[in-house]
């Protein structure tokens, strides 16, 4: 797929490439204390991480670029086709992380808005999903501030990324926006970003 750059006022989402590796490696080595529930590679692992993301056919990966510098990663993933149609029905936003210096700046909120725009208005999906470890209160609050719908918690749903829980399952908090809700959710996102 020929994925465009998605540009906002605070962040520019560039299709991920190996050229982003040095800056992403630097970003990942800032304060790592907020990554307890999120798989964020170390600087030494970044080249392999980017290569893995680029090699996956179920991912559309982006570098999150702020002020000309890559400060994180995000993806559209797990597209599901419409039965009998030549387009996607649903897609997920995930594999998102930001450098500590970019957290709380509006970059995450605007990046999500750009991804939702692309999913609903270009790909024309019926549903966009987000999920997180049910224990990750910080992530859940950030997702809920977007104005999306919480669908509940799926118990023992997916792999835990918490250190020391390798091979164990986590409970997953599921969120979504459907196409009919997107105009009002978008208006809320635009207003929240305007207030920043």
Q: What is the pLDDT of residues 17-40, one digit of tens each?
A: 999 999 999 999 999 999 999 999
Spell 168-191 as b/e; 16+ CB within 10 A means b.
Answer: eebebbbbbbeeebbeebbeebee
Question: Does 1 have pLDDT greater than 80?
Answer: no
What mean pLDDT is predicted for residues 156-172? 95
- Please give the mean pLDDT across all residues of the chain: 95
Question: What does the DSSP assignment read for 74-104?
Answer: EEEEEEEEPTTSSSEEEEEEEEEEE-GGGTT
Stated pTM of the model: 0.94
CA distance 72 to 1: 22
> How many whole angstroms from its chain centre is CA 172?
15
Query: Mean pLDDT across the stretch 150-154?
Result: 97
pLDDT digits (tens, 9 = 90+) for 32-90: 999 999 999 999 999 999 999 999 999 999 999 999 999 999 999 999 999 888 889 99
pLDDT tens digits for range 94-145: 999 999 999 999 999 999 999 999 999 999 999 999 999 999 999 999 999 9
Mean pLDDT of 166-190: 97
The residue among 192, 188, 107, 108 whose CA lies nearest residue 149 is: 188
At 66 the three-state DSSP class reads strand
Q: How many CB atoms lie within 10 A of CB 60?
A: 22
Q: How many residues does the chain have?
A: 196
């Amino acid at each position: 797929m020929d994925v465009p750059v998605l540009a906002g006022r605070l962040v520019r989402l560039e299709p991920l490439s190996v050229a982003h590796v040095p800056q992403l490696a630097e970003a990942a080595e800032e304060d790592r204390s907020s990554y307890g529930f999120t798989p964020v590679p170390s600087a030494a692992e970044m080249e392999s991480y980017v290569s893995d993301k680029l090699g996956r056919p179920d991912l559309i990966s982006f570098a999150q670029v702020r002020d000309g510098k890559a400060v994180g990663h995000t993806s559209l993933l797990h597209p599901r086709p419409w039965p009998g149609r030549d387009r996607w029905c649903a897609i997920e936003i995930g594999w998102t992380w930001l450098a500590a210096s970019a957290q709380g700046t509006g970059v995450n909120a605007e990046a999500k808005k750009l991804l939702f725009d692309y999913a609903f208005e270009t790909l024309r999906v019926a549903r966009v999903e987000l999920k997180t470890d049910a224990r990750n209160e910080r992530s859940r609050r950030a997702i809920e501030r977007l104005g999306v719908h919480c669908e509940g918690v799926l118990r023992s749903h997916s792999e835990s990324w918490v250190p020391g829980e390798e091979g164990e399952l986590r409970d997953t908090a599921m969120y979504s926006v459907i196409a009919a809700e997107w105009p009002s959710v978008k208006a809320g996102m635009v207003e929240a970003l305007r207030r920043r």
